Structure 1
Amino acid sequence: MTIARHTDVREPANGDHPRCRLRDILDRVGDKWSVLVMDLLGGGPKRYSELQRAIEGISQRMLTLTLRSLERDGLVERTVTPTSPPRVDYALTPVGRTLSAQVAGLITWAEQHREYVAAARLRYDAP
């Protein structure tokens, strides 16, 4: 006698599948450094050094990679002013500004619920 078994295992999603493309975008805009950069740029253009000072714990390499990725995705634009030394400013594109409004809401939520989450973690981790 053969028993039919139910399984939740799904075949791997094709890279062209809409959910894969969506996940790719969410991975980019949802990582902690991108969220912080987007939030800061929501207040207007910033120089690289301003961003680095404002984001505690980010390395120069990670900030550079994050800015390049956001620029590649069309969310941030980089403007070089030919002075000595060159001035480089970063700003949100029009599409980046639409995302910035959503990111600001997430930042506000995190600030309002930080203590609640910390207490919940302590309760969960307690023996």
Structure 2
Amino acid sequence: MNIAIVIPTLTIGGAERLAIATAEELNRQGNKVTLISLSSKGESRPRDVIGLHLITKKNKVLALVNFIKKNNIQGCVSYLERANMCCSLACWLTSIKYCASVHTAPVAAFKKRKLLNRVVIKLT
């Protein structure tokens, strides 16, 4: 399967490490995996066997839709609110059958998030 994993940045946070580990495991299982970052910020990099694509354009959703179509992506996994919202919209616009969003915040941290972030988490 051709899978895209979408994260907001390549910083060294827990969600980013989890996304890279997921990408490497899916690749080991025989899938073609591309890690997509919605920003060029950060230091984490997947191993060379995992594709890396940076989206630096202002309209992240449109850029993601174009990438999905151009690369025949069959499934998407996203981590954290911004990436989850962009990926959910892009999957809906491209009729992707397999779309998963991962929320890594514990309940206590969820309650401290801004209202908009909590709404986005509930939506996705």
TM-score, length basis structure 1: 0.25
Higher fraction of strand? 2
Higher relative CO (Cα under 8 Å, sequence separation at least 6) belongs to 2
Q: Which has the larger radius of gyration?
A: 1
Higher fraction of helix? 1
